Amino acid sequence: MERPGLPTKIYFMLHIPCPHCGLRNETEFHYGAEAGVAYPDPNALTDSEWAKYLHIRANPKGWLAERWVHFAGCGRWFSLWRNTITHEIGPAYPPFTTQPKAPGNIGQEGSRA
């Protein structure tokens, strides 16, 4: 799936590297919000901590680890580095695997072209 000449770490042209199927069109995927927000033990949290888990996310400008699902392909959930300003796509990784390093500084805006 990977085309020679493309950078190996950052994927362009609205393509997403599904860990199971390779590079596919972004339209085959659904977004699933910020990654790495584990379901907590609900009863160990105060009301305000629980409400924060439900409703509050970092939503930074720049690189963010997100959850995506390849709904029109293998149906698998995975996590993905994506730049929320430039829409650059970074490495993807299956759940419960080591998170790769962010391709750039988190919160760094960058340029869209």
Binding site for another protein (CB under 8 A): 3, 5-6, 12-15, 30, 32, 38-39, 42-43, 45, 47, 50-51, 53-55, 67, 69, 71, 75-77, 86-89, 95-96, 111-113
| Closest distance of CB 67 from another protein, Å | 7
Residue 13's alpha-carbon distances to 25, 69, 86, 89, in angstroms, are 9, 19, 11, 9
The rounded distance, in Å, linking the Cα atoms of 48 and 31 is 26
Q: Shortest gap between Cβ of 105 and another protein (angstroms)?
A: 19
